[in-house]
Chains A and B, each alone.
Chain A
Amino acid sequence: MADVRDLYQEVIFEHNKNPRNFGVLEDHNRHAVGHNPLCGDQLTVYLRVDDQDTVEDVSFEGTGCAISVASASLMTQILKGKAKEEAEALFQAFHDVCTKQREVEDAPELDKLAVLAGVRDFPSRVKCATLAWHTVHAALETDEAGAEVTTE
């Protein structure tokens, strides 16, 4: 049986209280807004990508539950310096682990993101963990004008 302590690891509390890369990225050239209409969460992801679509810098802001904030915070840390394809591959791996389609051990590239794997036993919380990633995906797919995504 899933224990809620497996979901709420210390790292998650810590990132929720002190989210990294929080705020508007001054010289961003991509951004997108993500909504989770079920719980009213909303976050905006800002990216600065070079002409090869490699992520030079990334930030986020918004409101959400501990899972979505910690996930966004951890995501910004791992995305810096990643090429678009690498970012998309990470998203896929993360999504697969959260939805039990891949085991954590089979996705070593997730590194620190593995602390979020606990959501796999809490299906109603998977969308909280993946909201930031859906939003980055949308931002990478659009031009400067920005995009909107929703988990529903």
Chain B
Amino acid sequence: MAVEEVGRPGKDLTDADARRLRADFPCLGQEVHGRPLIYLDSAATSQKPQAVIDAVSRFYETSYSNVHRGAHTLSERATDAYEGARARVAEFIGAGDSREIVFVRGATEAINLVASSLGRLQFGAGDEILLTEMEHHSNIVPWQLIAEQTGAVLKVVPINDNGELEMAHFEEQLSERTRMVAVGHVSNALGTINPLREIVARAHEMGAPVLVDGCQAAPRLEVDVAELDCDFYTFSGHKLYGPSGIGVLYGKRQWLEAMPPYQGGGEMIRRVTFEGTTYAPPPARFEAGTPHISGPVGLHAALDYVTGIGLEALFQHERELLDYATEAIREVPGVRLIGTAAEKAGILSFVLEGVHPHDIGTILDNQGIAVRTGHHCAQPVMDRFQVPATTRVSFGLYNTREDVDAFIQGLHQVREMLA
């Protein structure tokens, strides 16, 4: 069914709604190992609704051309679609100006862009970059790379046994040398929702900008960058029911205006001579070369799809599934939850005594249940909890309590076989 028929932002999303919405996702209609697929890995990447698939095909069928280049009709159509998507993204995250939206490959590229460009602009020897122990590798390694080049040093805010930031340590480590605070909105390994308003307010008092990795937040809760007052915000389209290969970097105007280019090439210039080149203003300055033109088109459709359901309803639905699953899994002997923060989004990480996550993943897959096992690109989190890996269940708008029941039943079978 079409999302417009649900079309009821502000109302709850029930299991019955989720079951109907599930039919919008062709990939979820299949069987795996002879069982109906139960997809519990949306934190790794979400499935795509027909509306997104259609928007991308229709664009290729009717409007495809290069952007910002030709005087011809198709080029204008493609440019309108591309720039229309930029305006839609700005609206979606509450950015006042669509020139504050840079299209990138994904969150990874966005963070590399900011680290490299802002680093060259203003990091020097002894300057500090403040991260947290729960960051995804993509919000650690780019900062390490620029620290090596500039002599800046990394500082890390530790987490407590529940997987919450130690805010007292954050206060202590914030200093006049802090040139960047880079923090996840929602942890992909733990599900923790971080207290961003407090972090941003304190960082700004110290004169430090804040970059928020919103990969797991943008698909799960309402984001308003103006209200958060963060300096940068990034997310990937593929986790938000959109295509892979397209992501968003929001940056405040004054930062983007001041920052040097990340890559050089076509589209990002004003005037090129062999003596020197002047650069286009943002966002073009940061979009060198022919972009992923159909990506923003698909992302636009995905944003329309989720706002048709309503992010508040979506968040509540995932919260209910999380509470239901948390209660059920606590009854399974030998389970230890990794990440028990008071504020969590729809992500449940755990270990089972005597059974390696990889074996859990294979046995569940054999029952048609897809979960993620491994270190979730957050090895410091694994080290913190002294586990080599965890099993992670993560929800999307198409999941129901029945999916949780099947998973719990599968877990009992794993125990019978292996524990």
Cα distance, A124 to B373, chains bound together (Å): 12
Complex contact A13–B417 (CB within 8 A):
yes
Best-buried of B356, B388, B418 by chain A (most CB within 10 Å) = B356
B388–A8 touching, CB < 8 Å: no
26 pairs from A and B in contact (CB 8 Å cutoff): A1-B33, A2-B33, A3-B366, A4-B362, A4-B366, A8-B363, A8-B417, A13-B417, A13-B418, A16-B418, A38-B374, A39-B358, A39-B389, A40-B374, A40-B379, A40-B382, A40-B389, A41-B358, A63-B356, A64-B356, A65-B357, A66-B359, A122-B362, A124-B362, A125-B358, A125-B362
Q: Is A7 an interface residue (CB 8 A)?
A: yes
Contact B359 A40 (CB under 8 A): no
With contacts A13-B417, A63-B388 taken as known, whether A39 is within 8 angstroms of B366 at the C-beta atoms is no
Contact of B362 among A7, A16, A38, A64 (CB under 8 A): A7
**Besides A8-B363, A40-B379, A124-B362, 20 other A-B contacts (C-beta < 8 A):** A8-B417, A13-B417, A39-B358, A39-B373, A39-B374, A39-B375, A39-B389, A40-B374, A40-B382, A40-B388, A41-B356, A41-B358, A42-B388, A63-B356, A66-B355, A66-B359, A67-B358, A122-B362, A125-B358, A125-B362
**Interface assignment of B34: CB less than 8 Å from any CB of chain A:** yes
Instruction: Count chain A CB atoms within 10 A of each CB in B355, B358, B417 and give the residue with the most.
Output: B358
Residue of B nearest to A37 (CB): B375
The 10 closest A-B pairs by CB, nearest first: A65-B356, A40-B388, A4-B366, A65-B358, A40-B389, A39-B358, A66-B359, A65-B359, A40-B375, A63-B388
Query: How many residues of chain A are within 8 Å of chain B by beta carbon?
Result: 22
Q: Given A8-B417, A40-B374, A66-B418, check contact A128 B358 (CB 8 Å).
A: yes
Residues of B67-107 contacting chain A, CB below 8 A: none
| Residue in B closest to A124 when the chains form the complex, CB atoms | B362
Q: Which residues of A contact B382 (CB under 8 A)?
A: 40
Rounded to whole angstroms, the CA-CA distance of A122 and B34 in the bound complex is 16
**Pick from A3, A8, A38, A42: contact of B418, CB under 8 Å:** A8
**Residues in chain A near residue B359, CB distance under 8 A:** 8, 65-67
With A and B bound together, what is the CA distance between A121 and B416 in angstroms?
Answer: 22
In the assembled complex, the Cα of A42 lies from the Cα of B374 at a distance in Å of 13
B418 partner residues in chain A, CB cutoff 8 A: 8, 13, 16, 66
Determine the chain A residues whose CB is within 8 A of the CB of B356 once the complex forms. Answer: 39, 41, 63-66
Please measure, in the bound complex, the distance between the C-alpha atom of A125 and the C-alpha atom of B361, giving whole angstroms: 11
- B residues neighboring A (CB under 8 Å): 33-34, 355-359, 362-363, 366, 373-375, 379, 382, 388-389, 417-418
Closest residue on chain B to residue A64 by CB atoms? B356
Instruction: Describe A's contact surface by its main secondary structure.
Output: mixed
CB-nearest residue of chain A to B366: A4
- A24 and B418 CA atoms in complex are apart in Å by 26
Residues of chain B lying within 8 A (CB to CB) of residue A1: 33-34
Bound Cα distance from A63 to B358, whole angstroms:
12
A2 to B365: give the CA distance in the assembly, Å: 11
Please give the distance in Å from A80's CB to the nearest CB on chain B: 26
With beta carbons under 8 angstroms apart, the residue of A7, A16, A39 that contacts B357 is A39
> Chain B residues with Cβ under 8 A from A125's Cβ?
358, 362
Q: How far is the CA of A1 from the CA of B382 in the complex (A)?
A: 34
> Which of B359, B374, B375 neighbours the largest number of chain A CB atoms within 10 Å of its CB?
B359
Residues of A contacting B375 in the complex (Cβ-Cβ under 8 angstroms): 39-40
Closest to A39 in B: B358
Closest residue of A by beta carbon distance from B365: A4
| Chain B residue at minimal CB-CB distance from A3 | B366
Question: Complex: how many Å from CA A66 to CA B358?
Answer: 8
How far is B361's CA from A8's CA once the two chains are assembled, in angstroms?
A: 13
Docked pose: A13 CA to B417 CA in angstroms: 8
